[in-house]
A and B are shown apart, each in its own frame.
Chain A
Amino acid sequence: MIAEQLPQYFVSGITAGSIYALIALGFCLIHNATRIVNFAQGEFVMLGALTTISFVSDLGFPIWLGAILSVFIVTAVGLLLEKGPIRHSKDASPLTLVMITVGASIAIQGSGMVIWGKDAHTLPPIGGYHYIRVLNASVIPQTIVIVAVVTVLLLLLYFFFHRTMVGKAIRAVSENSEGAALIGIPVRALVTASFGLSGAIGAIAGILVTPLTTMSYQSGLMLGLKGFAAAILGGFGSFPGAVFGGFLLGLMESFGAGFVSSTYKDAVAFLVLLAILFCRPQGLFGKVQVRRV
């Protein structure tokens, strides 16, 4: 009996996990450039989804066009967030900047409520509702699309950070921003770019998950929290870690629900998370932080 259900647990975990992984990636991008946690990341997800819905349902654009436009818009929001409040904050200590992102999150959520109202909205899934049967599991094509996009994004990010000058410069900034500035790297411009990029990834995440989860002005918050947990699990700042952490969190929830009890599924997932962090405080893929005195 359990062997029959196993494939579906796995699919369910992968579906949820791929969503968490995408959001965790956005967290890592900004963290790597600035060493701060951007609590408005969930709001980028919500904005991306809801602007696409506006383009598609209200203006009648084809979905790919709506998605591209919305990614650009959310990228702009990310850039504005950095160019405005983050850059012009008088006190640039990390805690202040984190509080600014919390404020931005509340502001974006509020504007979302005014623009799109209080109801949930949805998008048609890519590939429709032609469920694919694999073993005993039933898979919606959208899940495969999400997993594919996560993989491609991960490869692109790897390429970007290890093979291009800009990417390498961003990594240099995250290692030591003063040193990077000394050798002539335009630190501010790169920080701005990371905010834009993380806005774009957030938007892509939102557009991809909406057919599965539906989206309302306040959905970003919960998704952001799960993505944050996934990022921590993987070792905050590590891209493979973020993706792995996302999938692991999704699978733990699903198997926790399947084998233990759905009532305690979040408890099971977070117990495992705590246990991992207890043994490896830096997360699964995190580097050990060496603090010089």
Chain B
Amino acid sequence: MGSAISGSAASLPSRSERSFALLYFALAAGLILVLLWAIASGRYQIPFGTVLSIIVSHLVAVKATWTTTEAVVVETVRLPRVLAAAIAGAGLSLCGAVLQAIFRNPLVGPQTIGASSGAALGGVIVIFLVGFGPLVQIGAFGGAALALVAVLALHRSDNLSPILTLVLAGVVVSAFCTALVGLVTYLADPETTLQVIVFWLLGSFAPSTWLHCGLIAVCTAVAAAVLIGMRWRVNVLSLGDEEARTLGVNPGRDRLILLAAACLAISSQVAVSGTIGWVGLIIPNLARMIVGADNRQLLPVSTFLGAIFLVAADTLARSLTPAEIPVGIITALIGTPIFALLLRRTTRSGAA
């Protein structure tokens, strides 16, 4: 167990730093490969090399060997969509990891604080009233923010077990929002808006343009800077409020900042592509199996893995069948069996 007592203090950090550097290199390489594969595949197949030259041509001068159609497909159809999927996956997974840490529960996800269903409600109301358009994004933002405020207000009324009441408040607000979504869907015109609402709720990156991509990129970048920046505070909060206080940290304010940042990332994802479940719940657990519970590594690794996962899922969604499958169905189909395995594993290791 302790073979190198005196030497361990100096040598261990550098050794683990080297293996982490290797891991991040592998994750970055994996993400780039998945992105290239995603851009190359689809009904209109484009060779790998051509995809690479089209993208590189924006950075350095390359002799054009591709057709205009290929350039259009890569630049205006697939690239924004693939990047939006990568950023959405990264954001969901990062938020899931943070939420699991601060609620001290590995089975918590972005839906738990009510932000996802709040955003869905906001988006659905906008589609119902004025139809699909840029306003959907603002509606989703508003809905997610209101849901978060409602959750925090419910949570405020009890000081005895703040962590439990926060999760329960999220469940209550989610259920309320989902009921209202059902009501709006019921009232929607089956000839026109109903289809749009249903497809948007199932989740899809199909309508992604550079505008969508820019919106989700900015929101997720801001949120990620806050969440990953506070990675050590996330560690401290994961010990519980009382412990955090004895360690000289004010848990209330830190949690509020983290929740607001998570809400921003989640709502921008819902606005761009509708609700996509399971990513934010499964991926942080996979990442935890690889790097352990320390959020200094867990948060960035979850971010990378989430991006890789959702890009792959979205690519499968549009290339498995001639007609596109909503990506939310793919993530649920992949996510639920993994979740079942995870559940077995956690309960078994807990018993051992």
A binds B: no
A residues with CB within 8 A of B: none
